[in-house]
Amino acid sequence: MRFINLCFILCLLSFAMLANAQTVKPRFKELTLAVYQPNDSAKALGITMYAYYKINSEGIIHFIFNAFNTASHNFTGITRDTTYRLSDKSITELNKIFNGETTLRSYLVIDQLPHGVMLSEPGNFITYKADNGKMDNLIFSQSFFGANVNLVLNCIFFAQLARTTHSGKIYHDSTLEAQIIKYHKACNCIPKTEEPPTVKELPVGIKK
C-alpha cells in the first residue's frame, strides 16, 4: 500500500514538473504577418486580404483565413481561424530574425540576384515589436529572401489548418490594412527591370 502511495506521489510530482517546465519565449511582444493582393484602380490603391497571422508574447498564434474561390477570386462567404501555441522549435527559429537586433530589410537578397531575374510582386506584410522596444516592418515577397530566412518564415506560413469556420462577411483589420496600403505605396524594394534588347541592339554574332 505504501509502495502504491509512493508511486502515486511520484507521478503527481512528475506531472507538476512537466506543467511548470520552462518553455521558449518569443523575443518579441507581438508579431503580425498578413497576406494580401494589391488592387490598383484609377482612384486609389486597395487590397484584398487573404490571411492574417498574429503571434503574441507567449507564442500563441491566431491564424485567420478568408476563403476565396481560386477560379473567380470571389470571396466564398467563409472565414476560418485557429489558435494554438507555436512549438518551442518554431519560436527559437523566429527569435533568430525577430529580435530587434537586425533590421528586416538587411535580410533582403534581391540586390544579389543575377541581372534579368524576374521577381513576383510583393503581397506580404510583416510588422513586429521586439522585447527591447524596437519596431520594424516590411513589405515583401518570399523571393526577396534567401533560403535561411524563408525557412524561418515557414514557421508562420505553415500554420496548422484553420478548422473553425465562420459564415458571413470577410474578416477585416482596418488599422492593419491602412498600414499595409501606406507601406505598399512607399515600397521601393523591387529593383527596376529593363526591357529586353531589340534585334537591332543585339551584340554582334547573335542571330535572330
pLDDT for position 65: 93
pLDDT classification of 80: cutoffs 50, 70, 90? very high
pLDDT for position 73: 82
pLDDT for position 126: 96
pLDDT for position 114: 59
Query: Is 1 within the bounds of a domain?
Result: no
Q: 135 versus 204: which is more confidently predicted?
A: 135
Q: Are 37 and 50 in contact (CB under 8 A)?
A: yes
pLDDT (average), residues 147-152: 93
Most confident of 90-94, 142-146, 155-159: 90-94
Query: Is 193 within the bounds of a domain?
Result: no
What residue type is assigned to position 102 of the chain? Answer: T
pLDDT (average), residues 81-90: 94
pLDDT tens, 111-120?
Answer: 665 565 555 5
pLDDT (average), residues 139-151: 90
Give pTM, 2 decimals.
Answer: 0.77
pLDDT tens, 119-140?
Answer: 556 789 999 999 999 999 999 9
Burial class (CB in 10 A: 0-12, 13-18, 19+), 195: exposed
pLDDT for position 41: 59
| Coil, strand or helix at 94 | helix
Q: Is the pLDDT of residue 75 over 60?
A: yes
Query: Is 150 within the bounds of a domain?
Result: yes
Helices (H), the chain: 2-19, 88-97, 147-157, 174-186
Range of the domain at 174: 28-186
pLDDT for position 25: 95
Query: Is 206 within the bounds of a domain?
Result: no
Query: Is 9 within the bounds of a domain?
Result: no
**Could you give the CA distance from residue 185 to residue 191 in angstroms, rounded to a whole number?**
15
**Number of domains present in the structure of the chain:** 1
Query: Is 15 within the bounds of a domain?
Result: no
Query: Is 110 within the bounds of a domain?
Result: yes
Q: What percent of the chain has pLDDT over 90?
A: 53
Query: Is 90 within the bounds of a domain?
Result: yes
pLDDT (average), residues 80-93: 94
pLDDT classification of 19: cutoffs 50, 70, 90? very low
Q: Is the pLDDT of residue 161 over 70?
A: yes
For the record, the C-alpha cell of 117 comes out as: 531575374
